[in-house]
Structure 1
Amino acid sequence: MNSRHTFPPTNLSLLTPTEMDDADHMAVSHGAVAFDMMEAAGGAVAVAIGARWPMQPVTVLCGPGNNGGDGFVVGRHLKAAGWPVTLGLMGPREKLHGEAAQAANLWADPAEAFSPDLLHGAGIVVDAMFGSGLSRPLDGQALEMAELLTAKRLPVCAVDVPSGVDGATGRVLGAAAPADLTVTFFRKKPGHLLYPGRGLCGDVVVADIGIPAAELTRIAPQTWENGPDLWLEGFPWPQAESYKYKRGEVLVLGGEEITGASRMTTEAASRAGAGMVTLAAPAKVWSLYATSLMNAIVRSFDGLAEFEAMLEDKRRNVIAIGPGAGVGAVTRAYVLAALKTKRTVVLDADALTSFAEAPDVLFAAIEGSCVMTPHEGEFKRLFHLKGDKLARARAAAAQCGAVIVLKGSDTVIAAPDGRAVINSNAPPQLATGGTGDVLTGIVAALLAQGMAPFHAAAAAAWLHGAAASAFGLGLVAQDLPNAIPGVLQTLRARAGPDADRRTRR
Structure 2
Amino acid sequence: MSFKVLSSTVAAAVDKELMSTVGFSIDQLMELAGLSVAQAVYKTYPPSTHNKVLVICGPGNNGGDGLVASRHLKLFGYTPTVYYPKHKSSNVLFNNLLTQLKTFKIDVLQNELSNSELKSLINENDQIIDAIFGFSFHPPLRSPFDTIIEHLKQVETSKPITCVDCPTGWDVDKGPNIADLVDAKYILNPSSLVSLTAPKPGSKFFKGNYHYLGGRFISKEMAQKWDIDIPNYPGVDQVVRLNI
Post-superposition offset of 1:110: 4.8
Counterparts of 1:215-294 in structure 2, within 5 Å, are 215-219=222-226
The residue correspondences of 1:56-455 to structure 2 (distance < 5 A) are 56-92=51-87, 94-95=89-90, 97=91, 99-108=93-102, 109-112=106-109, 113-115=111-113, 116=118, 117-153=120-156, 154-172=159-177, 174=181, 175-193=186-204, 195=205, 198-199=206-207, 202-219=209-226
Query: Which whole-Å CA distance do the structure 1 matches of 2:11 and 2:112 have between them?
Result: 28
* C-alpha displacement of 1:24: 1.4
The residue type equivalent to 1:104 in the other structure is L
> In the alignment, residue 222 of structure 2 is paired with which amino acid?
E
Give how far 1:185 is off: 1.1
The aligned amino acid for 1:106 is Q
Classify 1:62/1:114 alpha carbon distance in 2 versus 1 (closer, same or farther; 3 Å).
farther
Which residue is equivalent to 1:14? Answer: 5
Q: Do the aligned partners of 1:64 and 1:91 also contact (CA within 8 Å) in 2?
A: yes
Question: What TM-score comes out, normalization by structure 1 length?
Answer: 0.39
Q: Distance in 1 between matches of 2:201 and 2:62?
A: 18
Deviation at 1:135? Answer: 0.9
- 3-state SS of the aligned residue for 1:85? strand
Between the two proteins, the alignment pairs up a number of residues equal to: 210
Gaps in structure 1 of 5+ consecutive residues: 1-10, 225-423, 426-505
Cα deviation for residue 218 of structure 1 reads 3.3
Q: Following the alignment from structure 2 to structure 1, what is the Cα–Cα distance between the partners of residues 141 and 220?
A: 33
Write the deviation string for residues 89-138 of structure 1: whole angstroms up to 9, x where unpaired: 0213515x364444333221452034314313110000001112211211
C-alpha displacement of 1:141: 1.5
For CA contacts below 8 A with separation 6 or more, give which structure has more relative contact order: 2
- TM-score, normalisation: structure 2: 0.77
Secondary structure, aligned partner of 1:126: strand
Deviations 1:280-324 (A, max 9, x none): xxxxxxxxxxxxxxxxxxxxxxxxxxxxxxxxxxxxxxxxxxxxx
Equivalent in the alignment of 1:50: 42
After superposition, the Cα gap between the structure-2 partners of 1:128 and 1:59, relative to the gap in structure 1 and judged at 3 Å, is same
* Structure 2 match to 1:25: 16
**Amino acid aligned to 2:138:** S
Tell me the distance in 1 between the aligned counterparts of 2:130 and 2:140. 16
Q: Measure the CA separation in 2 of the matches of 1:111 and 1:146.
A: 19
- Tell which structure's C-alpha radius of gyration is larger: 1
More helix by share: 1
Preserved CA contact (<8 Å) 2:80 2:107:
no
Runs of 5+ in structure 2 lacking a partner?
A: 230-242
Q: For 1:34 and 1:214, how far apart are their aligned partners in 2?
A: 21
CA deviation vs aligned residue, 1:362-414 (integer Å, no higher than 9, x gap): xxxxxxxxxxxxxxxxxxxxxxxxxxxxxxxxxxxxxxxxxxxxxxxxxxxxx
CA 1:101 to 1:169, structure 2 compared with 1: closer, same or farther past 3 Å?
farther
Deviation of the 1:212 alpha carbon? 2.3
